[in-house]
Amino acid sequence: MSNGRATEEITAPLLDYSSVHTKQSKGDDEDHNLWRKVWIESKKLWIIVGPAIFSRIASYSMFVITQAFAGHLGELELAAMSIASNVILGFDFGLLLGMASALETLCGQAYGAKEYHKLGVYLQRSWIVLFMCCVVIFPMFLFASPILKLLGQPADVAELSGVVVLCFIPLHFSFALQFPLQRFLQSQIKNQVIAWVNLIAFVVHVLLSWLIVYKMKLGIVGTALILNVSWWIIVLGLFLYTVCGGCPLTWTGFSGEAFSGLWDFLKLSASSGVMLCLENWYYRILIVMTGNLKNAKIAVDALSVCMNINGWELMIPFAFFAGTGVRVANELGAGNGKGAKFATIVSVTQSMIIGVFFWILIMFFHNELALIFTSSDTVLKAVSKLSILLAFTVLLNSVQPILSGVAVGSGWQSYVAYINLGCYYLLGLPLGCLLGWVFDLGVMGIWAGMIFGGAAVQTLILAIITIRCDWEKEAQKASMHVKKWTDIKPTI
């Protein structure tokens, strides 16, 4: 393939305003030009969002399937797998995924600025930083059982969860390689590769899980180990694609330059990790708080059903989060503030339309929502009562992750981390406790307080910041940012 063809493919993601005629009369011609720009931007956005939705649903489904197979082994096994996945691995997953999101800023802006060779260096720096973080977190896996007992888990559940967590150690280290690889490829609009690799891993996961549980009967340990195999298939697939010629302009081999500028890279990665982790743990805390209510069993069951439905739907906004981050970073890196603003508007609008669709769906079918998970009349009625809060959570999710994607694309992670801390934990949690216990509204009060006191306020603040943003100034900052990272020289 010629260099001209490669250059053409690399520059394709940037929004081209020059193709729109500037000397046309106002009125219908302007409307036509607007719709043309919307169509162009939508195509570029959905090249990222479409495969990203599939990849995220496939990844999320692997955890759900693993828990489902564990559930067929017994109630203790299901509880142990759920605690190991949602508490220990959930913290690990959220932190490392957030830290890898620093690449969305750096790779996206460098890609837009056509500093293609820097992407491979950034990828290697992210590997180094995330691997060091994995080493620091590693003792949590070794002492999972005592930690869970301190958190109030029953002794038998904590002991078996500790065994499961030990089985997840290879999975833990796979995150350090996989998440940066995904962001590296995603910033180059290579999401189709990620989707195909995830499809292969998903099929292998289902087949091996069935074989382990029903044919070989290796129990919960075998079930947990299969998750390691599936995720390492993703790592190997993305790694081989990257180093074996899939990214000729952005991967030029291993470089000693990756060891320079690690402190600045660590600070940006840490900001990204804290930003996402604060959001990730918010709804997990909701389940823990609900478990401390009187007669909590039905409330926890109903809330778990709602959180599962919310988790499936949330993969769509998360895909928009990825797409928006890439588009905004690409345009800012190219010095095109106007393009970044337009990409934001298109992404938020389309995600909101999807969110309104699911909001209507939940409101209309609130009595039938839980039938996917249970046939208990008591749980069905409890879920029906919570459905209005689920609907508004889904509606907020259609906006908030996209605005967070704008923040990642613009490099505002540290500011958003402070906003998340204030809104979620200084406002949302206390208000949820107040409504849940003082006003005796139970799980509805806890959830309502956390939604309208935390998530809604955070979304409003991010919306105001985005609306008031000087996009041309952000484009200038991005150009300086790219130059700063480009000028860093190797120190070894």
Please check whether residue 11 lies inside any domain of the structure.
no
Phi, psi (degrees; rounded to nearest 5) at 343: -60, -40
Q: Looking at the domain assignment, is residue 304 inside a domain?
A: yes
Which residue is associated with the tokens 């203790």?
A: 76
Report yes or no on 13 lying in a domain: no
Could you tell me if residue 301 is inside a domain?
Answer: yes
Q: Which residue has the tokens 């934990």?
A: 425
- How far apart, in whole angstroms, are the C-alpha atoms of residue 440 and residue 295? 13
Structural domain for 223, as ranges: 38-487
141 located within any domain: yes
d(CA 384, CA 379): 8
Is 382 among the domain residues? yes
Q: Say if 20 falls within a structural domain.
A: no
Question: What would the two tokens of residue 152 be?
Answer: 């109030």
How far apart CA 212 and CA 218 sit, in angstroms, is 6
- Which pLDDT score, from 0 to 100, does residue 28 have? 60
Note whether residue 321 is domain-resident. Answer: yes
Q: pLDDT 10s per residue in the chain (492 long)?
A: 444 434 434 444 444 444 444 444 555 666 678 889 999 999 999 998 999 899 988 888 888 788 777 777 776 777 778 778 877 887 888 888 888 888 877 888 888 888 888 899 999 999 999 999 999 999 999 998 998 888 777 788 788 888 999 999 999 999 999 999 998 998 888 888 999 999 999 999 999 988 887 778 778 888 888 999 999 999 999 999 999 989 998 998 888 888 887 887 888 788 777 777 777 777 667 766 766 666 666 776 677 778 778 878 888 998 998 889 888 888 888 888 889 899 999 999 999 999 999 999 999 988 887 776 667 788 788 888 889 999 998 998 889 888 888 887 777 877 887 888 888 888 988 898 899 888 888 888 888 988 888 889 989 998 999 998 888 888 888 777 676 655 554 443
The DSSP 8-state label assigned to residue 258 in this structure reads G
Confidence at residue 231, expressed as pLDDT on a 0 to 100 scale: 93
List the structure tokens of 318: 């998360």
The whole-angstrom separation of Cα 400 and Cα 420 is 11
Cβ atoms of 419 and 461 within 8 Å: the answer is: yes
Question: How does DSSP classify residue 424?
Answer: I
Which pLDDT does position 77 carry in this prediction?
78
| DSSP notation for 182-246 | HHHHHTTT-HHHHHHHHHHHHHHHHHHHHIIIIIS--HHHHHHHHHHHHHHHHHHHHHHHIIIII
Q: Is 239:182 a contact under the CB 8 Å cutoff?
A: no
Q: Is 353 helix (H, G, I), strand (E, B) or coil?
A: helix
Total domains in the fold of the chain? 1
The reported pLDDT for the residue numbered 238 is: 96
Distance, CA of 55 to CA of 488 (rounded, Å): 34
